[in-house]
């Protein structure tokens, strides 16, 4: 069986497990699986307007996921993506606030994206630096920094950047239209954002799989002790990998602001950082499946919004399905791995 076929077979198996598991769960609470899945599908792919909303989720989720891939290549668990998304959003809001009356909205937006990447990358650098200089494991550093980032957002919303009059959980004041990412009539998603995402996917594909940097990064991830003897500095590659990871997450945060919310809200990251971790694991740490899995997850997120209205089910069903996907994927990959090693080995 070729690798592609095997991968498709695995995917099919995972989906079957997930559908069976979710159906059982729905039956248990007395809901119709058929109806629930129907709403999930029509809610995400039912119309262009709905699908463009799916793309709005797909873009930041994909950016976070491919960012994570860089970190994983170097052997790092960048749990801090969540915080890096938040910092990216903060950077964007900061620049956009300065550029409100500048008269150059496109330049402002461009600078805002740069700021997003820079702040996201910088925030990731803190975790990387803590690891290399302080011996703090990146998982703990990332986790801690996520909470700090959350604290900063709340402080900004209720402090320096509060709405004139009254500060509220609904976030800062909405930016004027010219500082929104341009979009087309009837689209909820900006074609620019789609373009950026596709470009970054292609660039990542080349960098990770065909460039010297990608090879070196992978070597660092596989055996940091040996790469020293090949004349590479593992610390340098770890830092670069986590900075790229953070920059892409930051960009995702920037797009959340300029393309979707047009303000800073407490939940600006929408949990895409953690969801991205699931996407990457489900993709078995490979690039090619990531855009598709991210699309599937995005569709689940958007489609599930229908459930409370139509069926009095909580929209967290999408989370259950995503979690079940990852668990069954790990199970299928795990079994495959055990099988390939053969018994007794």
Partner 1 sequence: MQVELRQIHKRFGTNHALKGIDLSVQAGTIHGLVGENGAGKSTLMKILTGYLTRTEGRIFLDGGEVDNADPASAARNGIGMLYQEPQDFPPLTVLENFMVGRDTEPDPDRNRQRRRLLELADQVHFSLDPDQKLDKLTVGERQQLELLRLLGRGVQVLILDEPTTGISDRQKARLFEALRQIRDQGRTILLVSHKLEDVVALCDRVTVLRHGRVTGAEDAPFNVPGLLAMMFDAPPANDTHRQSLPAGEVLLSFEQVTAEGERTGLQDCSLDINQGEVVGLAGLSGSGQGLFLRLAAALLKPATGRIQLRGVPMDLKDHRFFKGTGGVFLPADRLEEGLIPGFTIQDHFALASNSNMAAARVSATEAIVRFRIRGEPDTPVESLSGGNQQRLLLSLIRLESSLILLENPTRGLDVESARWIWENLRRQFIRRGAIVFSSAELDEILEVADRVLVFYDGNIVRDLHINELDYQDVAAAMTGR
Name which of 112 and 240 has its Cβ closer to partner 1: 240
Site for partner 1 in 197-226 (CB under 8 A): 212, 215-216, 218-219, 222-223, 225-226
Q: Nearer Cβ to partner 1, position 43 or 221?
A: 221
Q: For the stretch 147-174, what's the b/e string if a residue is b when 16 or more beta carbons lie within 10 angstroms of its beta carbon?
A: eebbebbeebbeeebeeeeeeeeebbee
Closer CB to partner 1, 2 or 345, in the complex? 345
* Contact between residue 219 and residue 231 where contact means Cβ atoms under 8 Å apart: no
- Interacting span for partner 1 (CB under 8 A) from 99-107, 114-122, 229-237, 240-248: 229-237
Residues 6+ apart with CB under 8 A from 159: 167
Q: For partner 1, which is the closer residue by CB, 84 or 216?
A: 216
134 binds partner 1 (CB under 8 A): no
Q: What is the DSSP string of 32-79?
A: -HHHHHHHHHHHHHSSHHHHHHHHHHHHHHHHHHHHHHHHHHTT---T
Chosen residue from 228, 267, 309, 338 binding partner 1 by CB under 8 A? 228
Interface of this chain with partner 1, residues 324 to 343, rule: CB under 8 A: 342-343
CB of 241 to partner 1, least distance (A): 16
30: contact with partner 1 by CB under 8 A: no
Q: Give the total of residues touching partner 1 (CB under 8 A).
A: 20
Give pairs for 143-152: CB < 8 Å, separation 24+. 143/79, 143/80, 145/80, 145/83, 146/79, 146/80, 146/82, 146/83, 146/86, 146/273, 147/83, 148/83, 149/82, 149/83, 149/84, 149/86, 149/87, 149/123, 150/83, 150/86, 150/266, 152/86, 152/87, 152/90
Q: Which of 36, 95, 227, 290 binds partner 1 (CB under 8 A)?
A: 227
312/345 with CB nearer partner 1: 345
- Per CB under 8 A, the list member of 1, 186, 231, 337 interacting with partner 1 is 231
- State the Cα–Cα distance between residues 168 and 158, nearest whole angstrom: 7
CB of 281 to partner 1, least distance (A): 18
Give the nearest distance from C-beta 334 to partner 1 in angstroms.
Answer: 18
Tell me how many degrees the CA angle 111-114-119 measures, rounded to the nearest 5.
125
Inter-CA distances, 245 with 14, 25, 84, 268, 286, Å: 28, 36, 9, 18, 15
Q: Considering the complex, what minimum distance in angstroms separates the CB of residue 236 from partner 1?
A: 10
Q: Which is nearer to partner 1, 164 or 342 (CB)?
A: 342
Site for partner 1 in 153-182 (CB under 8 A): none
Q: Which is nearer to partner 1, 77 or 230 (CB)?
A: 230
Binding-site ranges for partner 1 (CB under 8 A) = 212, 215-216, 218-219, 222-223, 225-233, 342-345
């Amino acid at each position: 069986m070729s690798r592609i076929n095997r991968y498709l077979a695995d995917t099919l198996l995972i989906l079957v497990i997930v559908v069976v598991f979710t159906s059982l769960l729905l039956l248990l609470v007395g809901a119709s699986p058929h109806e629930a899945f129907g709403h999930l599908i029509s809610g995400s792919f039912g119309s262009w307007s709905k699908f463009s909303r799916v793309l709005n989720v797909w873009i930041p989720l994909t950016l976070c996921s491919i960012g994570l891939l860089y970190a994983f290549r170097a052997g790092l668990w960048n749990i801090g993506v969540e915080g890096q998304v938040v910092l990216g959003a903060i950077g964007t809001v900061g620049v956009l606030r300065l550029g409100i009356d500048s008269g150059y909205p496109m330049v402002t937006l461009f600078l805002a994206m740069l700021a997003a990447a820079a702040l996201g990358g910088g925030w990731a650098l803190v975790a990387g630096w803590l690891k290399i200089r302080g011996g703090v494991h990146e998982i703990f550093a990332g986790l801690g920094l996520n909470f700090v980032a959350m604290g900063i957002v709340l402080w900004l919303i209720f402090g320096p950047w509060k709405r004139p009059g009254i500060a509220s959980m609904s976030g800062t004041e909405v930016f004027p239209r010219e500082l929104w990412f341009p979009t087309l009539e009837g689209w909820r998603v900006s074609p620019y954002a789609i373009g950026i995402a596709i470009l970054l996917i292609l660039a990542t594909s080349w960098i990770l799989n065909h460039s010297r940097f990608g090879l070196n990064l992978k070597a660092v991830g596989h055996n940091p002790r040996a790469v020293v003897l090949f004349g590479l500095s593992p610390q340098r590659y770890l830092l670069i990998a986590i900075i790229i990871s953070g920059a892409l997450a930051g960009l995702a945060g920037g797009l959340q602001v300029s393309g979707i919310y047009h303000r800073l809200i407490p939940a600006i990251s929408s949990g895409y950082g953690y969801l991205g971790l699931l996407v990457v694991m489900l993709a078995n740490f490979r690039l090619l499946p990531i855009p598709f899995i991210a699309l599937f997850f995005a569709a689940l997120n958007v489609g599930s919004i229908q459930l409370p209205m139509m069926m009095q089910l909580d929209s967290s069903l999408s989370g259950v399905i995503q979690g079940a996907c990852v668990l069954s994927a790990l199970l299928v990959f795990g079994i495959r791995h055990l099988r390939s090693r053969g018994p007794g080995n």
